[in-house]
Amino acid sequence: MPRTRPFAQVDVFATGPCLGNPVAVVLDGTDLTGQEMQRLARWTNLSETTFVLPPTVPGADYRLRILTPRGELPFAGHPTLGSARAWLDGGGTPRHADRVVQECAAGLVTVRLAARSLAFAAPPLLRGGPLDAARLGRITAALGIEPGRVLAHQWVDNGPGWAVVQLATAEEVLALEPDLSLFPDGMFGAVGAWPAGSAHDFELRTFAPRCGVPEDPACGSMNASVGQWLTASGRAPAAYRVSQGTRLGRAATIGIGADPDGTVWVTGEAVVLVRGTVTL
């Protein structure tokens, strides 16, 4: 039988109201089938909808299932931060005062707590290294650019299947007019640097047609894996700032910081804008 469940919608990585990436969070997903979860994810039509469940492994504060309009993801970044904020806002008490530990299909993910911002530790890559020529060709064709404009390229897959190309400038990234019909099952992005002294260091755009998300306003998982690549390869400093969502009328800011041991943290604000219930 359907029942009323607590629900929240959280704006993640925003620099002001409604300028980030929203995530819908069902704070009690118990007894829901995967089909029922998928039906709601299609209905919300957001890049992700999440469901909070009791943990099944020691050390976790809760378990999270993450669904796009077309399927389930083992991990995603802005839903991780948004769900942590919604869980805390809804009265959740973490085992440790300074962090939340999320269980998801990709394993345990630590989320550090601050007054307004949250930061998650980037999960390990499932696949890295340069792209093969065929994959690179499909991405550049979909982006409408010649392969020679790509400074570097990399698999940055931490679950969703991400690949990325680096262009010379942020302006080139913003000027892209992708034709996703040329790569309908793609999961890829483009990153380029802003000039020294700018408010941000890089502009990132993320395209996820395979998940039914043509362009993600602010993508935590891709920022995490791109951050691992850029900082480890010396293409970026140990700490930098990313802007995302500009072409979509958003103004997201994502902070990247690499610890001396190589752990990369993805930081951003997460603000609950909608509190209520959903009947499922």
Residues 41 and 141 in one domain: no
Domain assignment present for residue 128? The answer is no
Residues 60 and 162 in one domain: no
Q: pLDDT for 42-56, tens place per residue?
A: 999 999 999 999 999
Residues 89 and 142 in one domain: no
Residues 163 and 55 in one domain: no
CATH code for the domain of 147: 3.10.310.10
- Determine whether 269 is an active site residue: no
pLDDT at 220: 97
Residues 19 and 81 in one domain: yes
Domain assignment present for residue 195? The answer is yes
- For the chain, give the percent of residues with pLDDT over 90: 99
**Rounded mean pLDDT, 65-83:** 97
pLDDT at 253: 98
Q: Is 139 helix (H, G, I), strand (E, B) or coil?
A: helix
**Rounded mean pLDDT, 141-152:** 98
Tokens of 187: 């999961």
Q: pLDDT for 224-258, tens place per residue?
A: 999 999 999 999 999 999 999 999 999 999 999 99
**Rounded mean pLDDT, 113-127:** 93
| CB 100 within 8 Å of CB 94 | yes
**Rounded mean pLDDT, 154-164:** 96
Residues 88 and 140 in one domain: no
Domain assignment present for residue 86? The answer is yes
CA angle 91-96-102, nearest 5°? 70
Distance, CA of 206 to chain centre: 9
pLDDT at 115 over 90: no
DSSP state of 201: S
Q: Distance between CA 22 and CA 20 in Å, rounded? A: 6
Residues 255 and 140 in one domain: yes
Domain assignment present for residue 8? The answer is yes
Tokens of 7: 């629900």
Domain assignment present for residue 227? The answer is yes
> What range does the domain containing 173 cover?
133-262
Parallel, antiparallel, or unpaired for β 163-166 and 4-12? unpaired
Q: Is 125 helix (H, G, I), strand (E, B) or coil?
A: coil
Amino acid at the residue 233: S
Domain assignment present for residue 148? The answer is yes
pLDDT at 109 over 80: yes
**Rounded mean pLDDT, 147-159:** 97
Q: pLDDT for 169-200, tens place per residue?
A: 999 999 999 999 999 999 999 999 999 999 99
pLDDT at 106 over 80: yes
Q: Distance between CA 7 and CA 168 in Å, rounded? A: 42
Residues 99 and 63 in one domain: yes
**Rounded mean pLDDT, 72-85:** 97
What is the chain's mean pLDDT, rounded? 97
pLDDT at 221 over 80: yes
**Exactly one of 48, 103, 203, 215 is catalytic; which is it?**
48
Domain assignment present for residue 218? The answer is yes
Amino acid at the residue 54: P
pLDDT at 27 over 90: yes
pLDDT at 70 over 90: yes
Residues 200 and 79 in one domain: no
Residues 220 and 149 in one domain: yes
pLDDT at 116: 81
Domain assignment present for residue 127? The answer is no
Q: Name the domain count of the chain.
A: 2
φ, ψ of residue 141 in degrees (nearest 5) = -65, -45
